[in-house]
Every structure is written in structure tokens, then in C-alpha cells.
């Protein structure tokens, strides 16, 4: 994570002055760390006291909040996989991945509306969802692959920041293409089909059906991805390319094709996440991809970028942080209307993770250029 | 004949795409040359002409001189245009026969009407294909003209379109003589067709005469004695140019200039951070917000808690100090972060600032979504200059933009400027040769923040109120696009970028000269950014150093080719023998 700094032995005068400057930055970082810990502890104590005094949300509300945070987090995790895989292989942040996610939801919305109108939606709820899933996965995969072909492939050997800047351009472009095609208003999915929206009792706890479905689908997708990366030949090629493109090429791996596969798989996961978004929030607009995209990147960094289980873990944690953090910590500090600060908490979490543990929770796995 | 088919298909897709996202239809409302050409058709068939031109070029082969045969290249262009038109026609038929407005609001009968020139479907489609074929052929024929003729044609088209597209500016200048404006432009907008013919003819016959003259004038001025008449006439010209905004330009153009100068200011500030020091800051708008809100708190009488009601000039040093502290606070935690992490974290910082300013929590200080109103203008003696009189305010904007340019220019080759360059190239090596990267990075952040705070202070004095929605992440990204399209690390580049993008296309919240673009400008921004990164990463007006860096490989390759080296078979590249 840190670029390698030359550590000179502290014998000469010069290096001792350098050490002093480093300490200045370090002490500021320590100040941030201590400040963050104190804030969290004070906030938590305040919230717990409030809870014991019978104020604030009840136990049931906390439980519902927890479940919806986990399901949102699972969705972040699925998007994060795309960031993580592309970062692992090419070493740049694909800023447009949020738009890949959005494209799946958008096109999925057409199929959902069509099915809703001819009654298929309520008659065969699971088949309908499967259709949306396929449509969303297909669209997202297609968009990801086309973007890779047009915008990223020519930049394979460009300086690091150039693909990142390009991806910002791609992100703008895709957003406004979808704004032009689908209009700038919110397009709403029909309400969840059949009795999916009803509560299901699991271990005596009532949980909304869609949330169970969301969590279940993400676990399945994660297992599928793990199997693909760890057990198949293509997956092995992918890991080899992530390790070292040049040597992988010498070993007879088609590097370009493997990179396309990486984008495709990342896109497919974003498509799955698109279905989950549709189930959780229903509304989709051309800017839908932006915030979840950035948050998913945050999740990928949190879990350790390049690390796939880490991305999923980071997603769930980020969902919990932003879902429960405001009420759990900020409320205890006496801040009003904490739910407005949800996004700020997510970004603060990113900054804190990078200050505390820059390599992420499960440690990052990087290509050879980064390790030096 | 493979190229015409390829470019024809691409053209058809592009035409359908432009029509499908509603661009053609909404641009069609803007007449350019009164009865003949509107902007929608210009975009639609302009693209076809470009594709026709590309199809007529011979296959790029470095070993052969490009060759054109008049007849066959025109034919290739015609083919391309016809195929593209056919593609668009298929799209139109699709839109006409299947009702998809529910999903794609732009796929509606009005679109079909525009695309078929308001005719019946079948004759309209024939006309569409024919016009498209003609446009492709014209694009190809231009390629075959000899160089001097080609320049003349380009000048003609450029001047006519310039007059037509920038109608706002021309009428604004002709404000003194409205009758003259009526001679030029039709009542419902658009150049009168006979004026188009006159302007075109004048441009055609006059172009080519000025060739080389500009260069010789510059040379005369450059070599002139310090106190000679030539020098004085240059100063006189500069003085007159300075008076232009006040005396000649109207409100709209001045307003636009202020916007452009604000973006020049911020672009130059970001250029220090991104272009000089190589730190990709995506949260730059936060410093702009610090400047604007700082000024608002210190000067406004309606600021909720803090109301010292200072004058703008007294507040400025405090605001600058505040911005410097903000730069330090953002810079320190990110100092050890790698390039792309830095980008995303600064983006996070920018968003946190905006969310906090908007939140109910800080309403008692910053007014939340209500913002802070009643910010006084800039005091000059007994007067107060604000955005109400753009013809005066533009001087302040220009002054600070000039100041930023001066700071950038002086910093570029100073000790710290060289430290930035070294750090941008390779941080570890810079560290090893004794550059304190910590200090250099923090200085870059602080300088950038200070420059942005000037822009913020000007902005709040101009608008008279600050709201959080002027500070969303889009602004950061747009400033970045200005810097990149103009040329990273290049002062004239950034200025040019701001004029082209903000002045013509428009900024995130303000329309530019081509107000029709407002709905699609971000699409254009995105496309431009991708194009620039792929084809010309050094920008429109590159800094010498940067373009050398980016084309280092090509230079070695060129040198190698010049030496007549033969192709190496084992895939080794670069190193000339």
C-alpha cells in the first residue's frame, strides 16, 4: 500500500532531520487515530446510555436496521468484486464500474415492466426475477466488455493515472447516454412479485422476504465466483495475469482475453448487484451508479483490494457502518438528523481504514509493479 | 471498399445514437442558417462528412505516401454516407413502427419528423439517405482538394458557422446598433441565408492572404526596441482590449467571461496539484467551498452565527488562511497514499464537506440548504461591485485569474516547482536525491487550496449567496476535465481549456455560448475526456515537458526508424542499436 520509502540509517545528520519530518506527519496521523477512537467511544457510550434509558430505536428497530444494512452491504460487496478484480489485474480504479452496475438495473427495468404488464411478474415471481437477473447480467457484462475494448485496452501501458482519468470520462459518458435514452426521471420497478415482500420467520425472527433473497443471492454469487476463480482454468489464468502480466503471457496465457474475462465477470457481478438494487430500492435513475460505485470501491479497499472474500466482507462492513454508524455513534454525540450524514460516514470510514490499516482488513494482493 | 463499409456502419450507428438520445431533435430547434440548416442537421450530417473523409483516406501505411484519387475517394465518401444514411433510416423506421416512448422517451414521432425533414415517411427516408450520401461525398472531396484550396474551404465553413453558432456574442456586441443585428439574423434565430453567402464569399476570397502575416507581426514586435512605436502600439492595443468588456461587450458575454475566469482560476489551482505535483485531487471543490463559505460567514449580515460583517477585502486574507489550513488538513492524512487511493480519498473529503455543509447539524453555522444570503459585493471606494454589473466584475475575475497564472508561472521553475516535477516523475527517486516529498506535497495542496479560495471568494461576492449545490463533486470533475483537455501542467493550456469548455459548452451549472448543449454537455465532456486520453493525453496546448514525457517512446521509436533499423523479430522494442 505504502510506496516504498527509502529508510536510511539514522546516523547522518541529514537522515535525522528527515526522520523528524516524518514524525511530524506520523504524529498528525496518530492524532487522527486517537481522535477517531475517542469520538467512537464517546458516541457509543452516549448511544448505549440513551438505549438503556429507553430512548431512541427499540430492539426490533435495531434488528431491522441490522438486516437491511447487511443486505445493502451484500450488494456493495458484489459491486466491489468488480473493482477488486480489475484493480488486481490492471492496477487502476475503474471509475465507470458504478455505471456498469446502473446499466444493468436500467435495462432490467424494461423487462420487469414488460413482465409486470402481462401478468408474468405475479404469476411466476422467481422466474420473473431470474429473467431480470439474466437481462441485468447480460447488459452489465456487455457494457463492461465494450468499455474495456474501446477505452481501456489502448491504454494498457500508459502511465497509471491515465486509465483512471479515462474511466472518469467513461463514467460521464455512460451516465448521460442513459439519461438521453431513458430520460432523466426516476424509473420505478413494480412492487416485489407475489408474497416476496412479506415477512418470513427465521428462528423466530421476522425478516422481510426480499432481504433474505438479497442475502441469499449474494452468498450464491460469491460462492460461484470463488469456484470460478479458484477452481477453473480461466480463473487460474486470471490469477496468473494479476500476478504478472508479462510472465503469464510467456506461459502461454492469452493476456488480453483474460483481461476481458475479468471485466466480464466483474460486469456480471455488477449485474447481480443490479437485481439486488431493484429488490431493495426499486427506483433507478441515470445517476444511480455513482454513489454505490464509490462506496463499493470503499468496500473493496476496506477488505483489501485484489482480495475477493475481502471485497465481500468490506461490503457488508461498509453497509453496517453507514446503516448503523450514524445512529450508533453520531446520535450518541448529540448530533441531530444523523441519517443525513450516512454518506459522510461511509467516506469517513474509507479515510479511517486507509489511515489505520492501508492494506485493508484481509490484506491486499497486488500485481508485481506495486510490490516492487 | 472495406473502409467505406466499416465507416458507413459506424456512421449509421452514430447517427442512430445521436438521434436516440434526443440530441438531434433538441438541437433541431436551433436554426443556424435560416431556412436551410439547423444545429441538429449540422451535428448529424457533420458526423457523416467526417466518416466520409476518414473512409476516403487510404489505409494508413507508414511506408507509403498517402495518395488520393479524386473519383474513387468521392465514391468512397458517397458509399460511406449512403450506408450510414441507410442505418439511420432503419432506425427511423424502427422508431416509427414500434412505440417505445414508455421506455425511451426520445423515440417519439417528433424525432421521426425531424429525421425525415418533415416529409412523408418514404420520401423522407430517401431524402435522409441522399443527404447523408452527399455529406459523405463532400467530406471525402474536401480531402482530395489541394492544400491552399482546402484551407480556403475550411476558412469559409469556419467563419459562416462561427457567425451562426455564436449569434449570442455577435448580437451582444451589435447591441449598440440593433438594426445591424436584424440584417444579420432572422427573427427566430439563425443567420439569414444571404448573409451566410456573403460571409462565406468574403472569407473565401480573403483567406490565404493573412497567411504568415500573424507570424511576421509577432516577429516584428518581438524584435522591436523597448520604447519604439511598435511597442507602444502593442500596449495601446492591449489597453483597448482591456476596455472591451466594459464598453463593448454586453451582459451575457461578460457573465460568461466571469464564469470562464473563475474556472481558469480553479483550473490553474488544480493544475498545480495535478499537473505540477502529480497528485490527482478529485475533491478540489472542497477548497472552493471553503473560500465561498468563509467569505459568506465573514461578510454577510445574514450569516447565522458568525457575523463580523467585514468588507470583502478585509475578509480575503482570513479566507486565504482558512483555505491554507484546509489544504494542510486534507493533505496530511493522504500524504502516504498511492495515486489512485489519493484520488478516491480526496473525492471522499469533498463529499464530506458538502454533506456537512448541508446537514441539519451545522445549520446554525452554515444555513443548510437555505445557504447564506446577502453577501455584499467587492468594495471599491464608494461603490460595491457584484454580479449585478458583470461588466465591472469581470475585471476582478480577470485580475485574480491573472494572479493565479503569475503564481503558476513563477512556481513552475522555482525550487519547489522543480521538486514537484521530480516527485511527479518518480517519488522514490525524488526522495533519494534529497527532495522532501512531504513538504512538496503539502505545499502543492496548500497552494492549490489558496487559489481555489480566491475563486470561492469571488464566486460568493458575485452571486451574493452560497448554496451547497454549487459545490458538488461534479464541479471537481469538471475542473479536472478543463485541466486535462487544456493540457496538464501547461498554463496557456488550462486557460484555453477553460475558454473552450466552460465558455462554449458551459460549466456544470451555467450555460455556455452554445446553450443548446446544456443537456448534453456532460456527454460531450465524457467523450472528449476519453478521446483526449486515447489520442492526445498531453492536452490541446501541451506543456513542453509533459508532451516529451508522454511521447518518449514514440521519439525513441522515431529515432530508431530514422536510423533505418530493421524490424526486430523477437518482439523486443525500443532500444535502438
Question: What does the domain layout of chain A look like in residue ranges?
Answer: 69-319
Q: Report CA Rg, chain B.
A: 27
**Sorting pLDDT into bands at 50, 70 and 90, what band is B246?**
confident
B427 has a pLDDT exceeding 80: yes
Q: Are B401 and B448 in contact (CB under 8 A)?
A: no
- B277/B423 Cα distance (integer angstroms): 7
**Percentage of chain B exceeding pLDDT 70:** 90
Q: How do residues A201-217 score in pLDDT, each as one tens digit?
A: 777 778 888 888 899 99
**Percentage of chain A exceeding pLDDT 70:** 91
Nearest to B352 among A297, A298, A347 (CB): A347
- The pLDDT assigned to B553 comes to 59
B240 has a pLDDT exceeding 90: no
Please compute the mean of the pLDDT values over residues A328-353 and round it to a whole number: 85
**A163 to chain B, closest Cα gap in Å:** 8
Nearest to B529 among A14, A169, A341 (CB): A169
C-alpha closest to that of B43 among B115, B104, B118, B129: B115
CB pairs under 8 A between A and B: 176
Q: Which range (A232-241, A326-335, B437-446, B558-567) has the least confidence?
A: B558-567
Mean pLDDT, all residues of chain A: 85
Please compute the mean of the pLDDT values over residues B373-394 and round it to a whole number: 87
Nearest to A347 among B20, B336, B351 (CB): B351
C-alpha closest to that of B291 among B362, B384, B353: B353
Complex ipTM value? 0.87
A370 has a pLDDT exceeding 50: no
Q: Pick the residue from chain A with its C-alpha nearest to B336.
A: A2
Q: How do residues B483-530 score in pLDDT, each as one tens digit?
A: 999 998 899 999 999 999 998 888 888 888 888 888 888 899 999 999
Q: Taking CB atoms and an 8 Å limit, are B438 and A336 in contact across chains?
A: no
Would you mind telling me the total number of residues written for chain A in this entry?
372
Q: Which helix (H) or strand (E) holds B33?
A: strand B31-33
- The pLDDT assigned to A4 comes to 35
Query: HSE of B94 in the Cβ direction (CA atoms, 13 Å)?
Result: 13
SS3 B444: helix
Q: Are A105 and A282 in contact (CB under 8 A)?
A: no
- B346/B476 Cα distance (integer angstroms): 10
Residue B493: exposure state from Cβ atoms within 10 A (0-12, 13-18, ≥19): buried
Q: Measured between beta carbons, which residues in chain B are less than 8 angstroms from residue A24?
A: 438
Q: Measured between beta carbons, which residues in chain B are less than 8 angstroms from residue A3?
A: 336, 338, 427-428
Q: Taking CB atoms and an 8 Å limit, are B523 and A177 in contact across chains?
A: yes
Q: How do residues A147-185 score in pLDDT, each as one tens digit?
A: 999 999 999 888 878 898 899 999 999 999 999 999 899
Q: Which helix (H) or strand (E) holds B384?
A: strand B383-385
DSSP conformational letter for A154: G
Please compute the mean of the pLDDT values over residues B524-552 and round it to a whole number: 82
Q: Taking CB atoms and an 8 Å limit, are A341 and B355 in contact across chains?
A: yes
- Retrieve residue B567's grid coordinates: 524490424
**Phi/psi at A206 (nearest 5 deg)?**
-75, 125
Q: Measured between beta carbons, which residues in chain A are less than 8 angstroms from residue B106?
A: 180-181, 183
- The pLDDT assigned to B567 comes to 42
Q: Which helix (H) or strand (E) holds A206?
A: strand A205-208
Q: Which range (A312-316, B71-75, B410-414) has the least confidence?
A: B71-75
Task: Annotate B322-357 with b (16+ C-beta within 10 A) or e (fewer).
Answer: bbbebbeebbbbbbbbbbbbbbbbbbbbbbbbbbbb
SS3 content of chain B, % helix, strand, coil (to 5): 70, 5, 25
**A127 to chain B, closest Cα gap in Å:** 22
B387 has a pLDDT exceeding 80: yes
Please compute the mean of the pLDDT values over residues A69-79 and round it to a whole number: 94
Q: Measured between beta carbons, which residues in chain B are less than 8 angstroms from residue A166?
A: 529-530, 533-534
Instruction: Compute the C-alpha angle A36/B337/B452, nearest 5°.
Output: 85
- The pLDDT assigned to B237 comes to 83
Q: How far is CA A342 from CA A60, A291, A353, in A?
A: 21, 12, 17
- A255/A234 Cα distance (integer angstroms): 11
- B230/B222 Cα distance (integer angstroms): 10
**Percentage of chain B exceeding pLDDT 90:** 37
**Domains plus CATH for chain B?**
2-206 (no CATH), 246-541 (1.10.3470), 542-567+573-577 (no CATH)
Q: Taking CB atoms and an 8 Å limit, are A169 and B339 in contact across chains?
A: no
Q: Which range (A94-103, B175-184, B215-224) has the least confidence?
A: B215-224
DSSP conformational letter for B568: P
Q: How do residues B433-450 score in pLDDT, each as one tens digit?
A: 998 888 999 999 999 999
Q: Select from B350, B361, B536 the residue whose CB has the most chain A CBs within 10 Å, as the one to mutate to test that interface.
A: B361
Q: How do residues A321-337 score in pLDDT, each as one tens digit?
A: 999 888 888 887 878 87
- The pLDDT assigned to B210 comes to 62
- The pLDDT assigned to B341 comes to 83
B577 has a pLDDT exceeding 80: no
- B6/B57 Cα distance (integer angstroms): 13
A371 has a pLDDT exceeding 50: no
DSSP conformational letter for B62: T
Q: How do residues A26-67 score in pLDDT, each as one tens digit?
A: 888 888 889 989 988 888 888 888 888 877 778 888 888 899
SS3 B371: coil
**Sorting pLDDT into bands at 50, 70 and 90, what band is B538?**
confident
Cross-strand bridge partners of residue A208: A199
Q: Are B487 and B539 in contact (CB under 8 A)?
A: yes
- The pLDDT assigned to B208 comes to 66
Q: Measured between beta carbons, which residues in chain A are less than 8 angstroms from residue B428?
A: 3-6
Q: Taking CB atoms and an 8 Å limit, are B438 and A21 in contact across chains?
A: yes
Cross-strand bridge partners of residue B31: B38
**Sorting pLDDT into bands at 50, 70 and 90, what band is B575?**
very low
Within 56-115 of B, beta carbons closer than 8 Å to A belong to 102-106
**B108 to chain A, closest Cα gap in Å:** 12
Q: Pick the residue from chain A with its C-alpha nearest to B361.
A: A336
- A355/A313 Cα distance (integer angstroms): 19
More confident residue, B39 or B73: B39
Q: Which range (A225-229, B332-336, B520-524) has the least confidence?
A: B332-336
More confident residue, A367 or B30: B30
- Retrieve residue B53's grid coordinates: 473523409
Q: Taking CB atoms and an 8 Å limit, are A351 and B104 in contact across chains?
A: no
Other Cβ atoms less than 10 A from the Cβ of A204: the count is 5
Question: Which CATH class for the A69-319 domain?
Answer: mainly alpha
SS3 A205: strand
- A160/B338 Cα distance (integer angstroms): 10
Please compute the mean of the pLDDT values over residues B359-375 and round it to a whole number: 87
- The pLDDT assigned to B71 comes to 65
B573 has a pLDDT exceeding 50: no
Q: Measured between beta carbons, which residues in chain B are less than 8 angstroms from residue A22?
A: 438
Mean pLDDT, all residues of chain B: 85
- The pLDDT assigned to B80 comes to 92
Q: How do residues B81-103 score in pLDDT, each as one tens digit?
A: 999 999 999 999 999 898 888 88
Nearest to B21 among A2, A181, A354 (CB): A181
Task: Annotate B287-303 with b (16+ C-beta within 10 A) or e (fewer).
Answer: bbbbbbbbbbbbbbeeb
Q: Are B459 and B292 in contact (CB under 8 A)?
A: yes
**Sorting pLDDT into bands at 50, 70 and 90, what band is B271?**
very high
Q: Which helix (H) or strand (E) holds B193?
A: helix B193-206
C-alpha closest to that of A5 among B446, B336, B378, B367: B336
- A42/A330 Cα distance (integer angstroms): 9
B157 part of contact set with chain A, CB < 8 Å: no
A11 has a pLDDT exceeding 50: no
B127 has a pLDDT exceeding 90: yes
- The pLDDT assigned to B459 comes to 95
Q: Report CA Rg, chain A.
A: 22
Q: Measured between beta carbons, which residues in chain A are less than 8 angstroms from residue B518?
A: none
Could you tell me where the DSSP H helices lie in A4-12?
A: none
Please compute the mean of the pLDDT values over residues A117-127 and round it to a whole number: 87
B566 has a pLDDT exceeding 80: no
More confident residue, A232 or B34: A232
DSSP conformational letter for B372: B
Amino acid at each position: 500500500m505504502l510506496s516504498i520509502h527509502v529508510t536510511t540509517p539514522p546516523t547522518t545528520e541529514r537522515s535525522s532531520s528527515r526522520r523528524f519530518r516524518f514524525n511530524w506527519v506520523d504524529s498528525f496521523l496518530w492524532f487522527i487515530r486517537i481522535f477517531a477512537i475517542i469520538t467512537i467511544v464517546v458516541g457509543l457510550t452516549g448511544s448505549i446510555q440513551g438505549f438503556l434509558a429507553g430512548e431512541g430505536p427499540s430492539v426490533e428497530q435495531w434488528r431491522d436496521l441490522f438486516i437491511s444494512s447487511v443486505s445493502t452491504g451484500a450488494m456493495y460487496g458484489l459491486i466491489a468484486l468488480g473493482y477488486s478484480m480489475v484493480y488486481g489485474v490492471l492496477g487502476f480504479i475503474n471509475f465507470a464500474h458504478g455505471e456498469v452496475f446502473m446499466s444493468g438495473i436500467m435495462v432490467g427495468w424494461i423487462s420487469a415492466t414488460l413482465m409486470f404488464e402481462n401478468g408474468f411478474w405475479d404469476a411466476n415471481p422467481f422466474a420473473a426475477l431470474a429473467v431480470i437477473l439474466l437481462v441485468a447480467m447480460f447488459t452489465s457484462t456487455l457494457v463492461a466488455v465494450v468499455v474495456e475494448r474501446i477505452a481501456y485496452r489502448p491504454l494498457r501501458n500508459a502511465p497509471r493515472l491515465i486509465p483512471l482519468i479515462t474511466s472518469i470520462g467513461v463514467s460521464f459518458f455512460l451516465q448521460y447516454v442513459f439519461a438521453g435514452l431513458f430520460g432523466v426521471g426516476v424509473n420505478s420497478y413494480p412492487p416485489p412479485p407475489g408474497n416476496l415482500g412479506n415477512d418470513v420467520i427465521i428462528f423466530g425472527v421476522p425478516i422481510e422476504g426480499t432481504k433474505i433473497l438479497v442475502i441469499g443471492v449474494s452468498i450464491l454469487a460469491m460462492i460461484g465466483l470463488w469456484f470460478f476463480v479458484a477452481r477453473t482454468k480461466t480463473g487460474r489464468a486470471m490469477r496468473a495475469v494479476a500476478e504478472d502480466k508479462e510472465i503469464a503471457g510467456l506461459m502461454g496465457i492469452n493476456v488480453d482475453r483474460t483481461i476481458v474475462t475479468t471485466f466480464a465477470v466483474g460486469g456480471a457481478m455488477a449485474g447481480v448487484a443490479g437485481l439486488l438494487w431493484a429488490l431493495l430500492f426499486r427506483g433507478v435513475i441515470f445517476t444511480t451508479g455513482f454513489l454505490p460505485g464509490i462506496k463499493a470501491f470503499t468496500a473493496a479497499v476496506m477488505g483489501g483490494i485484489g482480495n475477493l472474500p475481502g471485497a465481500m466482507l468490506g461490503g457488508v462492513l461498509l453497509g453496517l457502518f453507514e446503516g448503523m454508524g450514524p445512529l450508533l455513534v453520531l446520535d450518541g454525540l448529540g448530533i441531530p438528523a444523523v441519517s443525513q450524514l450516512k454518506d459522510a460516514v461511509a467516506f469517513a470510514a474509507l479515510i479511517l481504514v486507509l489511515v489505520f490499516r492501508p492494506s485493508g482488513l484481509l490484506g491486499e494482493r497486488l500485481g508485481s509493479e506495486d510490490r516492487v | 471498399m472495406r473502409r467505406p463499409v466499416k465507416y458507413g456502419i459506424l456512421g449509421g450507428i452514430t447517427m442512430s445514437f445521436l438521434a436516440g438520445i434526443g440530441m438531434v431533435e433538441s438541437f433541431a430547434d436551433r436554426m443556424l442558417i435560416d431556412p436551410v440548416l439547423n444545429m441538429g442537421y449540422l451535428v448529424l450530417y457533420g458526423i457523416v462528412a467526417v466518416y466520409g473523409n476518414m473512409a476516403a483516406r487510404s489505409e494508413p501505411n507508414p511506408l507509403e505516401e498517402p495518395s488520393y484519387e479524386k473519383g474513387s475517394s468521392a465514391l468512397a465518401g458517397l458509399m460511406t454516407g449512403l450506408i450510414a444514411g441507410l442505418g439511420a433510416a432503419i432506425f427511423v423506421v424502427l422508431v416509427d413502427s414500434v412505440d417505445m416512448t414508455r421506455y425511451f422517451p426520445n423515440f417519439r414521432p417528433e424525432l421521426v419528423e425531424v429525421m425525415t425533414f418533415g416529409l412523408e415517411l418514404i420520401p423522407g427516408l430517401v431524402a435522409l439517405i441522399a443527404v447523408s450520401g452527399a455529406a459523405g461525398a463532400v467530406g471525402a472531396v474536401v480531402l482530395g482538394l489541394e492544400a491552399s484550396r482546402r484551407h480556403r474551404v475550411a476558412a469559409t465553413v469556419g467563419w459562416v458557422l462561427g457567425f451562426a453558432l455564436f449569434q449570442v456574442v455577435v448580437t451582444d456586441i451589435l447591441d449598440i446598433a440593433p438594426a445591424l443585428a436584424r440584417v444579420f439574423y432572422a427573427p427566430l434565430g439563425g443567420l439569414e441565408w444571404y448573409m451566410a453567402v456573403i460571409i462565406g464569399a468574403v472569407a473565401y476570397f480573403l483567406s490565404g492572404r493573412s497567411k504568415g502575416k500573424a507570424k511576421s507581426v509577432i516577429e516584428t514586435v518581438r524584435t522591436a526596441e523597448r520604447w519604439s512605436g511598435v511597442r507602444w502600439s502593442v500596449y495601446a492595443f492591449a489597453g483597448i482590449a482591456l476596455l472591451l468588456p466594459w464598453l463593448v461587450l454586453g451582459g451575457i458575454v461578460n457573465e460568461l467571461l466571469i464564469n470562464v475566469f473563475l474556472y481558469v482560476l480553479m483550473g490553474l489551482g488544480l493544475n498545480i496539484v495535478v499537473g505540477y505535483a502529480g497528485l490527482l485531487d478529485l475533491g478540489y471543490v472542497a477548497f472552493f467551498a471553503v473560500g465561498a463559505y468563509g467569505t459568506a460567514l465573514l461578510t454577510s449580515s445574514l450569516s447565522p452565527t458568525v457575523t463580523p460583517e467585514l468588507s470583502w477585502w478585509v475578509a480575503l486574507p482570513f479566507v486565504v488562511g482558512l483555505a491554507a489550513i484546509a489544504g494542510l488538513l486534507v493533505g496530511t492524512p493522504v500524504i502516504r497514499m498511492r495515486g489512485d487511493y489519493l484520488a478516491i480519498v480526496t473525492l471522499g473529503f469533498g463529499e464530506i464537506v458538502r454533506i456537512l455543509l448541508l446537514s441539519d447539524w451545522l445549520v446554525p453555522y452554515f444555513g443548510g440548504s437555505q445557504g447564506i444570503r446577502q453577501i455584499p459585493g467587492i468594495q471599491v471606494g464608494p461603490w460595491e461591485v457584484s454580479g449585478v454589473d458583470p461588466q465591472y466584475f469581470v475585471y476582478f475575475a480577470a485580475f485574480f485569474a491573472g494572479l493565479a497564472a503569475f503564481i503558476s508561472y513563477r512556481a513552475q521553475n522555482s525550487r519547489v516547482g522543480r521538486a514537484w516535477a521530480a516527485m511527479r516523475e518518480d517519488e522514490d527517486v525524488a526522495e533519494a536525491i534529497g527532495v522532501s516529498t512531504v513538504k512538496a506535497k503539502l505545499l502543492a495542496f496548500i497552494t492549490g487550496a489558496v487559489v481555489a479560495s480566491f475563486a470561492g471568494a469571488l464566486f460568493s461576492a458575485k452571486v451574493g449567496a452560497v448554496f451547497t449545490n454549487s459545490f458538488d463533486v461534479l464541479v471537481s470533475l469538471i475542473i479536472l476535465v478543463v485541466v486535462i483537455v487544456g493540457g496538464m501542467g501547461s498554463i496557456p493550456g488550462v486557460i484555453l481549456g477553460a475558454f473552450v469548455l466552460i465558455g462554449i459548452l458551459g460549466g456544470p451549472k451555467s450555460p455556455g455560448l452554445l446553450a443548446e448543449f446544456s443537456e448534453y454537455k456532460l456527454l460531450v465532456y465524457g467523450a472528449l475526456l476519453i478521446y483526449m486520453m486515447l489520442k492526445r493525453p498531453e492536452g490541446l496546448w501541451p506543456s513542453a515537458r509533459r508532451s516529451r514525457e508522454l511521447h518518449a517512446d514514440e521519439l525513441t521509436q522515431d529515432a530508431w526508424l530514422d536510423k533505418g533499423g530493421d524490424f526486430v523479430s523477437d518482439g523486443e522494442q525500443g532500444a535502438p542499436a
